[in-house]
A and B are shown apart, each in its own frame.
Chain A
Amino acid sequence: MTAPLLEIRNLGKRFASRQGREAATWVIQGLSFSVPDGEFLTIIGPSGSGKSTLLNMIAQIDVASDGEILFNGDNIGVLDQKSLKPGLDRRVGYVTQDDNLLPWRTTLDNVLFPLEVQGRLDDKARARAESLIKAVGLSGYEKYYPHELSGGMRKRTSLIRTLVYDPPVILMDEPFAAVDAQTRTQLQEDLLRLWEMGRKTIIFVTHDIAEAVALGDRTLVLTKQPTRIASEHKIPFGRPRNVKDIFALPGFAQVYESIRAEIQ
């Protein structure tokens, strides 16, 4: 296997203690893993295990207290607020738990936003945005404001807003947590379909075991605080996958159970 695209070494995060409280505790400590190019990695952990904090540090909107992150073999400074480069020069995209759409922009203008701020808004980029909007079934809603869309539609908009500028690594923080089960399955299928087209490197964080197994090539299980990697599971299913039928596949119950046993 070639050198990993992204490597996390001994990452740690400690929050400054508030006045009148005991010494700061480590939320994350000694956490290491690496991700090869083109892998769909899912990370699963109990709630409060610092999953969002981990992604915030990889996206460089939050400083780490210890350890290092390597991108393409280069050490990127993560310990000092001043050296942080959010999004690592557009190489790391981030689909957050909340859709974070700009409420004063329509669906189309939200999708075009990253291209606009990057000064890459040409006809080719517009065509790409249009085709992504079509691919996730948002045609006809281009002129709607976020508050006029359903939760699932806002998620799709937020997803393709990151896909549109094509970052090589995409972080996803429980992007489908807040929608109903049926919409979630649909969104998962949309995501896999879009991923099959481009095969980006994805780090997908969730607390839903079935989701982690259905989407990932590999699943990492996190411990409780201070968070480390508890175990690693290869997902034995091929591609392309059908999210709806994944439960019926032989081996699903076994993987599911072994992950469930790991989560305290």
Chain B
Amino acid sequence: MTAANDVVSSAAPAGPLISQRALIILGRCVFAGLLLWAWQWSANEFGIIFFAPPLAVVQRLYEMAISGEMFFDVWATLRISMVGFVIALVAGLILPFLLRLSARLTEAVEPFILWSQGIPKYALAPWLILWFGIGDTPKIVIVVLMVFYVIFITTFAGIRAVDRRLINMARIMGANETVISREVIWKSMQPFFYAGLKVALPRAVGACIVGEFLVSTQGVGYYIEHSRELSDTVGVFAGIVLATTLVLVINMIVEKMEKAALAWRPVDRT
């Protein structure tokens, strides 16, 4: 009793911030527990064909890791999503910077780019298979199409949001357009760029997985679809967990990069 009292009194001067933080973590644990319980409950209620129990999924993931199948599939998905992502990133960044140089060209081209965004990308899949066969290419194209617009639109908005006065200042000091693009526009659109990345990266992985549902012999999407064909619900769930983990890890990396790149911003220095 005395010991407990001591702990309380010594913790008190640390201020409400610490206990606030502890409360949040406690709340998260409770919430995670509730979700797990709901998952287990659903598995009991609906049966293993419709809802795989959590422990069986963990068991499956463990087996996949031991056999190396997990890394093989994750790598396949990661490779295609990243190739598509990089192509879309380069195109989505360069195009707005080029359009910036001509207001008239921008006005002429912009509506077409925005209208083409309205095409449901997955509807193109059969046609893409017709063109590119069943290899990596149709999946890469789908990823590119899903990612490009996000990068293009955020970059475009970022360029438009740059403070004109900073550009004028740089011009007066003798900066040419390349230097202005690099040192003023690119730097000041970083918050937009990272906002775009955070939407685009999960999209890239998601698009790749859907692509794998349609045509593939490997990858996380293939694993999920293949498991479904075998009525292996545990496999379906294991694949979903794997895909989710992949996206979360990618997001964590982007957030670390963003923190480092935007260290100058007052809001990010708490």
5 contacts between A and B (CB under 8 A): A87-B171, A100-B169, A103-B265, A145-B264, A147-B266
B63 within 8 A of A: no
What's the least CB distance linking B176 to chain A, in Å? 8
A164, closest chain B residue (CB):
B173
B166, closest chain A residue (CB):
A100
Do A90 and B165 have beta carbons less than 8 Å apart? no
SS class, residues of chain B in contact with chain A: helix
B249 within 8 A of A: no
B170, closest chain A residue (CB):
A117
B172 within 8 A of A: yes
Q: Tell me, in angstroms, the Cα distance from A149 to B89 when the chains sit together.
A: 36
Q: Residue-by-residue, is B226-270 near A (CB-CB < 8 Å gives 1, otherwise 0)? A: 000000000000000000000000000000000000001110000
Q: Tell me, in angstroms, the Cα distance from A96 to B173 when the chains sit together.
A: 13
Q: How many residues of B contact A (CB 8 A)?
A: 21
Do A104 and B264 have beta carbons less than 8 Å apart? yes
B217 within 8 A of A: no
Q: A96-B169, A100-B165, A100-B169 are in contact. List 6 more A-B contacts (CB 8 A).
A: A61-B168, A87-B171, A87-B174, A93-B173, A113-B173, A162-B173
Do A86 and B171 have beta carbons less than 8 Å apart? yes
Of all A-B residue pairs in the complex, the 5 with the closest CB atoms, nearest first, are A87-B172, A86-B171, A117-B175, A114-B173, A104-B264
Do A90 and B174 have beta carbons less than 8 Å apart? yes
With beta carbons under 8 angstroms apart, the residue of B163, B173, B179, B183 that contacts A165 is B173
What's the least CB distance linking B136 to chain A, in Å? 38
A93, closest chain B residue (CB):
B172
A94 within 8 A of B: yes
With beta carbons under 8 angstroms apart, the residue of B165, B174, B187, B265 that contacts A89 is B174
Residues in chain A near residue B166, CB distance under 8 A: 100, 102
With beta carbons under 8 angstroms apart, the residue of A98, A104, A114 that contacts B174 is A114
Q: Given A102-B184, A104-B188, are A90 and B173 also a contact pair (CB < 8 Å)? A: yes
Q: Given A96-B165, A104-B264, are A61 and B171 also a contact pair (CB < 8 Å)? A: yes
Residues in chain B near residue A104, CB distance under 8 A: 187-188, 190, 264
State the B residues within 8 Å of A (CB): 163, 165-166, 168-176, 179, 183-184, 187-188, 190, 264-266
What's the least CB distance linking B204 to chain A, in Å? 27
A92 within 8 A of B: yes
Find the residue from B168, B174, B187 having the highest chain A CB count within 10 A: B174
A118 within 8 A of B: yes
What's the least CB distance linking B50 to chain A, in Å? 52
Q: Given A86-B172, A165-B173, are A102 and B187 also a contact pair (CB < 8 Å)? A: yes
Q: Tell me, in angstroms, the Cα distance from A114 to B172 when the chains sit together.
A: 9
Q: How many residues of A contact B (CB 8 A)?
A: 25
A162, closest chain B residue (CB):
B173
A88, closest chain B residue (CB):
B172
Q: Given A100-B165, A104-B264, are A92 and B172 also a contact pair (CB < 8 Å)? A: yes
What's the least CB distance linking A200 to chain B, in Å? 15
What's the least CB distance linking A193 to chain B, in Å? 23
Residues in chain A near residue B171, CB distance under 8 A: 61, 86-87
What's the least CB distance linking B167 to chain A, in Å? 9
What's the least CB distance linking A169 to chain B, in Å? 11
Do B169 and A117 have beta carbons less than 8 Å apart? no
A62, closest chain B residue (CB):
B168
What's the least CB distance linking B25 to chain A, in Å? 31
What's the least CB distance linking B261 to chain A, in Å? 9
Do B266 and A86 have beta carbons less than 8 Å apart? no
Q: Tell me, in angstroms, the Cα distance from A230 to B172 when the chains sit together.
A: 29
What's the least CB distance linking B171 to chain A, in Å? 4
Within 8 A of B (CB), among A149-176: 162, 165
With beta carbons under 8 angstroms apart, the residue of B172, B176, B188 that contacts A94 is B172
Do B174 and A94 have beta carbons less than 8 Å apart? no
Q: Tell me, in angstroms, the Cα distance from A87 to B188 when the chains sit together.
A: 22
Q: Tell me, in angstroms, the Cα distance from A116 to B173 when the chains sit together.
A: 10
Q: Tell me, in angstroms, the Cα distance from A7 to B169 when the chains sit together.
A: 23
A104, closest chain B residue (CB):
B264
Do A117 and B174 have beta carbons less than 8 Å apart? yes
Q: Tell me, in angstroms, the Cα distance from A118 to B171 when the chains sit together.
A: 11
Residues in chain A near residue B168, CB distance under 8 A: 61, 86
B264, closest chain A residue (CB):
A104
What's the least CB distance linking B138 to chain A, in Å? 41
What's the least CB distance linking B46 to chain A, in Å? 53
A59 within 8 A of B: yes
A87, closest chain B residue (CB):
B172
